[in-house]
Chain A
Amino acid sequence: MQREYKWFLPGLVGILVVLGGWLSAAQGREGPPAEGKPVKAGLIYVGPIGDYGWTNAHEQARQALVKKFPWLTTTYVESVPEADAGRVIDRLITEENCDVVFATSFGYMNDTVAAAQRYPDKIFAHCSGYKQAKNLATYFAELYQAYYLNGLMAGALTKSHKVGYVGAHPIPEVVRHINAYALGVREVNPQARVHVKWLYSWYDPAKCREAAEALVAEGCDALAFTEDSPAVIQVGEEHTAKGRPVYTFSHYSPMGRFGPNSAVSGQLVDWTGLYEMLVTSIREGRFEGKDHWWLMKEGAAAIGAEPGQPINPKFVEVLKKIEHTDPVLGKTNIHDLVMKRIEQMTDATVSFDPFTGPIKDNTGQERIKAGERATHDQLWTIDWYVDNVVGSVPK
């Protein structure tokens, strides 16, 4: 697939880069006199900016910051295969004179580390990796708290006690999200089980649709997913319209518009703050090569199928009517429980975390001891399912 773009894209990107450079240069002249030094950032995207998911979310942040900061100029290259990262970085540094390169895919890690050694006076930031250096930071906006909250709602709404999950690739990030979702489901509905289908693709709307249809055919009536298209939401909306409610939870971008009667909530990412922090620190000369792992508290993650609506208004009353007794909070309802958990996960001390023991995996082995919280490293390498997920993580 990528191969076919090979000749067209460089041309298109070339035109865009020239246009973008011209536009931002024009903008730069009107800006106020700079206090720090101007920053030129180059971004490498793994997908097309129109994927309505991962790459699109980074692109939104880039556009927001270019508007906000007259001293910031940017350039980007989209749909870069992971094997080509080194070459693209070289070009961004030597031809585009970028001060900082953002490499936005896990697979770019080794090339980015090598480039950081090759260009010690330039700055690098690698998204989702774990290798840092003096001039190389890592950064990530993590969504597991949002998945947990969606799990609370899915567990409360399911009538069949079967909830589904369409996963992209069986890597720790996705397994962590499935587990967070399952922990939410279990908290309000211990008898429900989570069924998983794997796509082995980050982006394939048709396959994703078939995976969702298969889950519905097996009886699941609440679906969450990791894939960069609204296919699962559309499947939920179609079954709901035919009189069989299937509740869905949108992923990454606002997808509620594709399922006004099906999408209950979802997870929304906002990379703007993270990128703002990084480019500002470069401008002010206080960049540090460390790891930035941002969650709900930092504003990098939120719940909702559309911005500004944590829960689809159509489901607010429904969720308020579902009662729940929490060992600590006492008698409450699902809506209030979700809101309370958001409060706890965004307060100064993060007084609640879904990955708090005792947690057993689905073979009965205790993974997190009672009263303990999973560490960053545990979450980063997780390769087992919590006890209410069916099946095993494909090896």
Chain B
Amino acid sequence: MAEAPDSLVMSVLARSLVAGTPLLLGTLGEIFTQRSGVMNLGIEGMMAVGAVSGFAVAFETHQPWLGVLAAMGSGALLALVHAVVCICLRATQVVSGLALTSLGLGLSMLLGKGYIGQPLPVRFEAWPLPGLASVPIVGPLLCQRDPLFYLAVASGLMLWAVLFHTRWGLALRTVGENPVAAETLGLDVIGVRVVATVFGGAMAGLAGAYLSLAYSPSWIEGMTAGRGWIVVALTIFSLWNPWRAFLGAFLFGGIDVAQFTLQSYGISPQLLKMLPYLATLGALWFTSSARHRASPPAALGQPYERGTR
């Protein structure tokens, strides 16, 4: 090997962080949505629309940050549809989420027709963090990344703090655990749920923007490639805790990366191809065996009608 083995390890670690970032962004959003008691299975659709609108706006304006805003906006808009249907009209959340996936994927194809095969004139470049970037190992791994990676890490930390250490977080969790009690306490259950759902959509849109603006700067139909579903699994795996979302997202990113590195060691590629799915099963098994430590928000998936019990 021309390269020292440690640089191969470094490359795998670094690529795992990159591949895990969109998963992290999506998972953080879905954790918030589900904590409020709303299940949104439409991540895949919101991600796809985020990816295409982020790409389109960045392509037309040459401003990647405007693309990010557009992606978050369009993800939020789709999530608002889900919120109106499920929270205000009290329709079945699973069905609405699945419809949102189909709608989002179809919409992304329609919107993206003109952008296929167009290279992005601007993209997110790496921003080395001053001072930290030259620290061995940690520097190249964590501090020489693109700004959306920092944004993902920062929002993970922030959301953890908000969820467990602020009154807003307490209100959100109460709404998801016991909406009747929340209403008795004077909380606006419907309002909290709508905000949490729309926020989750914005995060899914941001995850899509990461794909089309930083990870693989281009628009191609179906580029989300099932990540929205992995996000749903990771939300369960994380036990609705942003801390564990980091672990899950980068672990799954790592599995995506490692399957190609391991091919050169004579391990059957068919077997390696199964790794992410085996890992999903493993994660679900792990979660169900850890049930006694954390369980899903008690009111998850149940529509709430004001004044009934």
Contact = CB atoms under 8 A, between A and B. Distances in A.
Interface of A: 1, 4-9, 12, 48, 50-52, 56, 160, 162, 195, 197-198, 200, 203-207, 209-211, 213-219, 229-231, 234, 253-255, 257-258, 390-391, 394
14 contacts: A8-B106, A9-B106, A12-B110, A50-B109, A203-B222, A205-B218, A207-B225, A210-B15, A210-B256, A214-B263, A217-B8, A217-B12, A218-B264, A257-B119
Contacts, number: 130
Contact of B1 (A12, A210, A218, A230): A218
Interface string B57-70: 00000000000000
Contacts of A7: 102
Contacts of B105: 4-5, 8
Contacts of B273: 200
B216 interface: yes
Nearest to B212: A205
Contact of A229 (B103, B119, B218): B218
Nearest to B219: A50
Interface in B5-29: 7-8, 11-12, 15, 19
A209 B264 contact: no
Nearest to B44: A4
Contacts of A200: 269-270, 273
Contact of B119 (A51, A219, A258): A258
Given A56-B116, A217-B261, A209 B215 contact: yes
A254 to B, nearest CB: 8
Contacts of A206: 19, 211, 215-216, 223, 225, 227, 256
A207 B256 contact: yes
B113 to A, nearest CB: 6
A209 B216 contact: yes
Contacts of B259: 210
Counting chain B CB atoms within 10 Å of each CB, the highest count among A9, A195, A214 belongs to: A214
A211 B109 contact: no
A87 to B, nearest CB: 20
B19 A50 contact: no
A169 to B, nearest CB: 10
Contact of A391 (B113, B118, B266): B266
A335 B45 CA distance: 47
B218 A219 contact: no
Nearest to B218: A230
A394 B270 contact: yes
B269 A213 contact: no
Given A50-B220, A52-B117, A160 B215 contact: no
Nearest to A204: B225
Contacts of A218: 1, 3, 8, 261, 264
Contacts of A160: 2
A101 B118 CA distance: 31
B15 A213 contact: yes
Nearest to B211: A206
B260 interface: yes
A159 to B, nearest CB: 9
B56 to A, nearest CB: 14
Interface string B246-279: 0000000000110111011010111001000000
A12 B106 contact: yes
B242 to A, nearest CB: 23
A205 B260 contact: no
A394 B220 contact: no
Interface string B193-222: 000000000000000000100011110111
B226 interface: yes
Given A52-B117, A214-B257, 9 more contacts: A1-B225, A51-B221, A52-B220, A198-B263, A203-B222, A217-B3, A218-B1, A229-B220, A230-B119
B298 to A, nearest CB: 30
Counting chain A CB atoms within 10 Å of each CB, the highest count among B109, B113, B226 belongs to: B109
Contact of A253 (B2, B98, B117, B223): B117
B245 to A, nearest CB: 19
Counting chain A CB atoms within 10 Å of each CB, the highest count among B103, B118, B225, B268 belongs to: B225
A162 B106 contact: no
A4 B109 contact: no
Contacts of A56: 116-117
A205 B216 contact: yes
Contacts of A197: 260, 263-264, 269
B264 A213 contact: no
A44 B222 CA distance: 19
Nearest to B11: A217
Contacts of A195: 264
Counting chain A CB atoms within 10 Å of each CB, the highest count among B98, B110, B118, B257 belongs to: B257
Contact of A205 (B118, B220, B264): B220
Contact of A231 (B1, B15, B19, B216): B216
A96 B150 CA distance: 54
A210 B275 CA distance: 15
Contacts of A50: 109, 112-113, 116, 220-221
Interface string B274-291: 000000000000000000
A78 B43 CA distance: 24
B101 interface: yes
Contact of A211 (B1, B215, B225, B260): B260
Contact of A198 (B45, B225, B269): B269
A48 B221 CA distance: 7
Contacts of A213: 11, 15, 257, 260
A9 B222 CA distance: 13
